[in-house]
Structure 1
Amino acid sequence: MNPFEDMRIFCQVMDSGSFTAAADQLGLSKQFVSRRLMQLEERLGVRLLNRSTRRLDVTPLGQSYYESALRLLSEVEQVEQGIAGQTSEPRGTIRLSAPLSFAVAHLGCLLPVFLQRYRDVTVEVDLSDRPVDLLSEGYDLALRIGVLEDSTLIARRLASIHRVYCASPAYLAERGTPVNPEDLHSHDCLPYGHGRQVQWRFEGQGKPLTVNVTGRMRVNNGELLKDAAIAGMGITYLPTFIVGSALKDGRLVQVLDNFRPEPLTLSAVYPQHRQGSRPVQALIEFLRERLDRTEGGL
């Protein structure tokens, strides 16, 4: 019987949402994980999880045990790291998820510097514009842009992300330059994402305004939208880290700049059980230090 190992298994089941996913993350069999949790419940004399064929539901006592176990495991990890001399030098592997365009613009130059500073850290990066499930997919850390959904994840602000409305000079010469957000109803737009109806948000005279926009092309990748805008396909709305170079050399021109909404927030989010991870915390502090230096945001 190893109480700390049982705690780790139970916390992984809670984080993953199923015995199968937890077993995959732990490198154990589903039967072994299930048996250990049954033995844990027998030892404690309480039911921690209500099991059904489709889902696991945590009981109130199970939730209390989970929260306490996370704190204890974090403390144990910190003690072990201190004994191993890792309080000064992080060591281990970080599984990181990041948006594709942002990573190409910034992480390509930052991660090598981070890895040169911390020689005993390894980083596995997955680039995806979809919001990955950190717990069930086994990520230690994710970078996310925009408003975060309520969750049990911990979030740390890294920097501000500015977005602009822009189009090519050729498009504006042919179709005219919009003066007010409502003018977009008569323009081709290049919205990010999918869906039948896309809304762009504006700030005018302190009042928020939303406008439904349409166009012949919708993509869930900013680089493709930038290229479409440069080709004269319409007006797009993208972060400056994607369109900044095109704005500087004149391939794109800003429009409706007086109506731009507040910047978005770039956040680092991670599960509660990674709060005591020295490599994760070191990467967060490194990114915050480097990215927040940019005056006016990214």
Structure 2
Amino acid sequence: MAIFARVVDEGSFRAAAKSIGLAPSRISETVTELENFLGATLLYRTTRKITLTNEGRVFYARVVDMIRSAETGLNELNALSLEPVGALRVSVPAFMSSSELLTTMGEFARQHPHVALSLSFTDHPVDLIDDGFDLNIRVGWLEDSSMMSRKLGEIDRCLVSGADYAASRPEPKHPGDLENWDWISYAQRSDTIEFIAQNGRIAKVAGNAQVQVDNVDALHHLTQQNLGVTVLPQYLAERGLRSGNFVRLLPDWQLRPLGIYAVWPDQSRRENLTVHFVRFLAENHQN
């Protein structure tokens, strides 16, 4: 009955199979066995879609009630459980591979040895459902979404260039002074950079980029090569600033921080392992 409900929720046998982790043929067989047991057709099947029969609509409503009752019981059991058990597959931006958030994830794994934590690092957007992730860490400004989300913190940013490159140019006093500088741009970020003055005034610069990359570590490396100016997360920029390889530009102007969000599909109404993991990150992560 739960598989039947998942087919209805997902809209197809194939989508239900992917979300559950079974073969589409097994999903179809299970629904057929249920129909044979009930002596009623629950779904009209075509090559393009499935629809509920009248009997299917009545039965689906009762199955949903049953699932909710079962999930309430699972919630109560989870509340009594002392040790989370299960597997989590999490997508994380690649540039956060040495961040404090990853340290917090490591602490979660240390405290919960029966949870198998699989972390995938990429700076490219991923699809939670199609790519099979339980949770996605997103950095930036969260767009409206049907997904569940929770803000975990913020990342400060700063404008830097290689020390030798900065020495070859007049010291900028205003963001507009950077219009003719060489920029190293990041593919997942707008070319227009917004700066905020101490008095709240906003200035925008459209950087002229000769080089564009889709990886923040590459931004860091090419900035060290004195190819131009770029925006880096504060914790990454600090490496070059401490060594003297970087120069921070326009220190009196601020860049809007980036939000760090946990995003996950609302595929379960119960207090599951994903929610437990998100709560741990939110309560223990230090910006």
User: TM-score normalised to the size of structure 2?
Assistant: 0.81
Task: Establish whether residue 146 from structure 1 lines up as the match of residue 140 from structure 2.
Answer: yes
**Alignment partner, residue 235 of structure 2:** 241
Q: 1:254 aligns with which of 224, 248, 264?
A: 248
Aligned-pair distance for 1:187?
Answer: 0.2
CA contact 1:163–1:239 (8 Å) conserved in 2: yes
CA deviation profile, 1:87-124 (whole Å, cap 9, x unmatched): 43221111111101113333553333211211221111
CA deviation profile, 1:3-42 (whole Å, cap 9, x unmatched): 333223433x25xxx54343234343334435666878x9
CA deviation profile, 1:236-281 (whole Å, cap 9, x unmatched): 1011122222222322121123332321110111111245343222
After TM superposition, the structure 1 = structure 2 runs for residues 47-62 of structure 1, keeping only pairs within 5 Å, are 53=48
Task: Establish whether residue 289 from structure 1 lines up as the match of residue 283 from structure 2.
Answer: yes
Structure 2 CA distance for aligned equivalents of residues 233 and 102 of structure 1: 23
After TM superposition, the structure 1 = structure 2 runs for residues 149-228 of structure 1, keeping only pairs within 5 Å, are 149-193=143-187, 198-204=191-197, 205-228=199-222
Change (3 A) 1:274 1:257: farther
CA deviation profile, 1:64-108 (whole Å, cap 9, x unmatched): x79x94x97466335235447754322111111110111333355
**Alignment partner, residue 4 of structure 1:** 2
Change (3 A) 1:242 1:21: farther
Change (3 A) 1:266 1:275: farther
CA deviation profile, 1:136-185 (whole Å, cap 9, x unmatched): 22211111111112111011010111110011221111123322111222
SS of match in other structure, 1:158? strand
What are the ranges of 5 or more consecutive residues in structure 2 without an aligned counterpart?
none
Change (3 A) 1:249 1:83: same
Structure 2 CA distance for aligned equivalents of residues 139 and 43 of structure 1: 37
Task: Establish whether residue 99 from structure 1 lines up as the match of residue 93 from structure 2.
Answer: yes
RMSD of equivalent CA atoms: 3.4
Change (3 A) 1:258 1:84: closer
Task: Establish whether residue 111 from structure 1 lines up as the match of residue 105 from structure 2.
Answer: yes
CA contact 2:158–2:255 (8 Å) conserved in 1: no
Structure 1 CA distance for aligned equivalents of residues 66 and 252 of structure 2: 51
Structure 1 CA distance for aligned equivalents of residues 263 and 148 of structure 2: 5
User: TM-score normalised to the size of structure 1?
Assistant: 0.78
Aligned residues: 277
**Alignment partner, residue 230 of structure 1:** 224
Q: Alignment identity in percent? A: 25
SS of match in other structure, 1:89? coil
One-letter amino acid of the counterpart of residue 195, structure 2: F
CA contact 1:157–1:267 (8 Å) conserved in 2: yes
CA contact 1:114–1:286 (8 Å) conserved in 2: yes
CA contact 1:100–1:128 (8 Å) conserved in 2: yes
Structure 2 CA distance for aligned equivalents of residues 273 and 155 of structure 1: 13
Deviates more, 1:271-280 or 1:251-260: 271-280
Structure 2 CA distance for aligned equivalents of residues 238 and 280 of structure 1: 30
Change (3 A) 1:84 1:212: closer
Q: 1:279 aligns with which of 253, 256, 273?
A: 273
CA contact 2:91–2:136 (8 Å) conserved in 1: yes
